[in-house]
Amino acid sequence: MSKFDITTIKGVIPAMVTTFDENEEVDLKRGRDLVRFLIDAGVHGLYITGSTGEGFLMTGEERKSFCEAVIDEVKGRIPVIVHVGDIGTKKSIDLAKHAEQAGADAISSVPPFYYRFNGDDIYNYYKDISESVSIPMIVYNISLAGLMSNALVKRIASVDNVKGLKFTGREHDDMCALKQELGSDFMIYSGCDEMATQGLLAGADGLIGSTYNLMPDTAIEMYNLTQKGDYVGAFEIQKIATKLIHFITQWDFFPIMKNLITSYSVDAGYSRRPFAAPSKELMSKINSFCLNLKEEHKGQTHIAFIDRM
């Protein structure tokens, strides 16, 4: 049973990277170190083994072992959402049941992909997984993928145990409409880091994103400002963060982000192929960009690792 009611799972929730060693094996020690770093930074929850966590590059057993290690390290201090998505319902149900047994507070899943599944297939995928456990399901919709319409999302939301939506897209008018229609107890999380403030303004209850591994302090500051009604102040910080996000997402993003986390915060390990490790030349270019950003904003970028450079 979840330690946290779904309506209390709000705020900044990093989509946590999975830590691999030099041989591409899951490194649980590095993972535990990263959990402690993020909790110490003040994040409000963790979302694990999703897209950012390279979950689809992991075996089921690897996903389970990482889930167990993270939940054990968290020790109930903040909620843990476990992504259990896969192409097949059977594997996702197995991962969902394991997540519940391990102590997860919620599960989440992208819709099944690769094959051309129809709306009924996708609805039943979520229904079957949700009914296999007692902890809540958070639907993960990447709107740019075009796999689920808003009408289908609303249909899935009618399933008893579906309690939230991770909305990764720039169509904040759609997010706003969904929040109004589905109600205050149906939680919506903005998944577009470069528009986090806009997502909160559109009614999101929290933020689930990749870059919060790298700059949790920045996201927390923006979130806190919006809770005080200072959207102008939050947006000024957002503009700086977005410059960095746009720059580093020109290349293989996850290995670059892990390199920066390792260089300036805590050892985040490596990524799995086919993601390629960034070259020294590329990282030098990225570090130069960060230093220029620091100079441009006179050391007040509101991005802790850059301001420390």
Antiparallel, parallel or unpaired: β 206-209 and 11-14: parallel
Q: Which of 10, 64, 127, 166 is catalytic?
A: 166
- Whether 189 is a known active-site residue: answer no
Catalytic residue list contains 166: yes
Bridge-partner residues for 13, per DSSP? 208
On whether the CB atoms of residues 302 and 237 are closer than 8 A, the answer is yes
Tokens standing for residue 126: 């979520």
- HEC states along 53-100? CCHHHCCHHHHHHHHHHHHHHHCCCCCEEEECCCCCHHHHHHHHHHHH
- Which of these is catalytic: 47, 125, 126, 140? 140
Token representation of residue 116: 């051309």
**What is the C-alpha separation between 162 and 248, in angstroms, rounded?**
34
For 272, residues 6+ apart whose C-beta sits below 8 A from its C-beta are 20, 24, 54, 57, 58
Name the region of 24 (left: φ>0; alpha: ψ -120 to 50; beta: rest).
left
Residue 192 φ/ψ, nearest 5 degrees? -105, 95
Cα 204 from Cα 174, distance rounded (Å): 11
Instruction: Report how far residue 109's alpha carbon sits from residue 156's, in angstroms, rounded to the nearest whole number.
Output: 12
Catalytic residues: 140, 166
